[in-house]
Amino acid sequence: MNTYLNALGVTCTLGTGKTAIAEALFAGDDSGIRQEAGWIPGRTLPLGAVRTPLPATPEGLPDNRNNRLLLAAALEIEAEIRDAIARYGNERVGVIIGTSTAGIEEATQGIATYQREGAWPPDYDYAHQELGAPATFLAEWLALAGPCFGVSTACTSGARALLSAQRLLRMGVCDAVLCGGADTLCRLAINGFYSLEAVDEARCNPFSQHRRGINIGEAAALFLMTREHGPVQLMGGGASSDAYHMSSPDPQGLGARHAMQAALLHAGLQAADIDYINLHGTATEHNDSMESLAVSALFDPTLPCSSSKSQAGHTLGAAGALEAAFCWLSLTDARPERRLPPHVWDGQADPALPPLNFTAVGSCLPAGGTRYLMSNSFAFGGNNACLILGDAVVNNATAGDAA
C-alpha cells in the first residue's frame, strides 16, 4: 500500500515556507548560522535560530515558541489540512509529532522564577515540557479526534514520526496523518551539548578533517501523509538500535548500516537505485566517522551526498523531518534540473575516512526515470532511522512495515 507526502509546511533558519527555504538551501546559503550571546554564560555560539516573525497561538491553546514554530509550518498547508478533514472526517486524521525539547525553555524559565521569588509565574504550565504536547496542540487547534501522540527518540524523532504515520495509514487506522517534527533552541539542550564538548564555536564543518562539533538550530517541518497519489512517495524506512553507548555511535557504523539496509528492503530497492543521500553529518568526530564507514560499505563512492547541518544547524528532534523536507524540495523543485542540497564545508576531507562524493552548489538529480533519495538520522543511545523518498509512482508495491 503506497503512502504519499502530499503537502509540506516548513520553517527553519533558512526561512519560512517552501519557496524561501528551497532557494536558500540550493544556493548553499549558511548565513542563518549566526553567533549569539545569552545561551552559555560568558560565551557566544553559532546557532540556527528562526528569525522570521512567528504567528500567535490561537486563544485558549498553550503558548510557547515550539507551538508557534509548529503553527507556522501548519499554516502553510492549512488549506490542504482542512480539505483532508472535510473529506475523511476529524476522527480519521491523526497527528504524530517528533520533538526532544517541546516547550521546555518556557518551563525552565518558570522554574527559575520560582527559585528566585518563591512563586510560579502566571503563565507557567508544566504541560509545556510534555513531549506529547506539540501533537496535542495541533489536534486541539484543528479539532481532530484521530490518533494523536508524540515521538521522542532524540535526533531521530522527526524521522520516526513519519514511519509511525506510515504504519497508521497501512493498518487502516487513519486516512491522513499530520506528521513531522518541531524543536526550538533552549538552554537545557545548548548547555548540555556544550558540556559534552560537542559544540563548534564556528560554523560546523561536516566530514572535514577540521570538524569540531555541531551547531544547534531550531525548526518545524510538517507533512500531510495520505494514501492518495501525491507529488512525493514515502517509499519506506528502516530503524535500528545499536545500543553501543549512551551518547556515542557504534564506531563501525553497524547500526546505521542496518537502518539503511532495512530502508532499502522496506522500499523494495537496491543500493544502486538511490540517487542521493542526505547524511546525518553532525560534524562531530565519531558520527561522521561511523556514517562514512556505513555509507561506503553499501553504496558506490560516486553517489552524491551531503549534510545540511552547516546551513540549517542540527535541529535535534526536528532534524529527521526537516531533512526529509529537503529531499522533498529536491524532488518537487520548480526547476527542471531538480537541484540537490550542496555540502557546505571547507573542502578539507578527513584522510582517515572513506571518501564520499559531496555535492556542490549546482548539483542536480539525474535526468529521466524515477528518482530515489535517502535521508539518514542517528541519535543518542544508538537510535537510528533512515527514510527513502521518491517520485510518486502508481501501483508501486512495497515490502511491509519497517524494522
Please report where in the chains the cell 486563544 appears, as a residue.
59
Q: For 223-242, how does the pLDDT look when each residue is reduced to its tens digit (9 = 90+)? A: 999 999 999 999 999 999 88
| Residue 79: exposure state from Cβ atoms within 10 A (0-12, 13-18, ≥19) | exposed
Average pLDDT of the residues of the chain: 94
What is the Cα gyration radius of the chain? Answer: 20
HEC letters along 95-108: EEEECCCCCHHHHH
Domain that holds residue 226: 4-391
Count of the separate structural domains present in the chain? 1
Confidence of residue 124 (pLDDT cuts 50, 70, 90): confident
Is 117 part of a structural domain of the chain? yes
Its pTM surpasses 0.85: yes
* Greater model confidence, 399 or 387: 387
- pLDDT tens digits, one per residue of 158-176: 999 999 999 999 999 999 9
Task: Map residue 249 onto helix, strand or coil.
Answer: coil
- For the chain, helix (H) and strand (E) counts, in that order, are 11, 15
Relative to beta strand 176-183, strand 219-226 is: antiparallel
Look at residue 402 and tell me if it is in a domain: no
Residue 90 belongs to a domain: yes
Single-letter amino acid code for the residue at 81: I
Indicate the range of 115-124, 245-254, 257-266, 298-307 predicted with least confidence.
245-254
Which of 125-129, 267-271, 325-329 bottoms out in mean pLDDT, i.e. has the lowest?
125-129
> Which pLDDT value is given to residue 312?
98
- Does 363 have pLDDT greater than 60? yes
pLDDT digits (tens, 9 = 90+) for 39-70: 999 999 999 999 999 999 999 999 999 999 99
For 187, what's the count of Cα atoms within 13 Å in the CB-facing half-sphere? 13
**pLDDT tops 90 at residue 123:** no
Residues labelled catalytic: 155, 280, 314
pLDDT value at residue 382? 79
Residue 185 included in any domain? yes
401 domain residue, yes or no = no
| Cα–Cα distance for residue pair 397/235, rounded to 1 Å | 9
Residue 243 is predicted with a pLDDT of 79
Among candidates 159, 129, 302, 289, which has minimal Cα distance to 236? 159
| Separation of alpha carbons 393 and 403, rounded Å | 23
pLDDT of residue 394: 57
Q: Is 42 helix (H, G, I), strand (E, B) or coil?
A: coil
Residue 399 lies in a domain: no
| Per-residue pLDDT band at 128 (split at 50, 70, 90) | confident
Residue 302: give its domain's CATH number.
3.40.47.10
Q: What are phi and psi of 292, to 5 degrees?
A: -65, -35
Residue 397 domain-assigned (yes or no):
no
pLDDT, tens digit, 9 for 90 and up, residues 196-218: 899 999 999 999 999 999 999 99
Q: Which pLDDT does position 83 carry in this prediction?
A: 98
pLDDT of the residue at 399: 40
**Residues 165/96, Cβ–Cβ less than 8 Å:** yes
- Specify if 365 maps to a domain: yes
pLDDT for 240 equals: 93
**171-194 confidence digits (pLDDT tens):** 999 999 999 999 999 999 999 999
Q: Flag whether pLDDT at 396 surpasses 70.
A: no
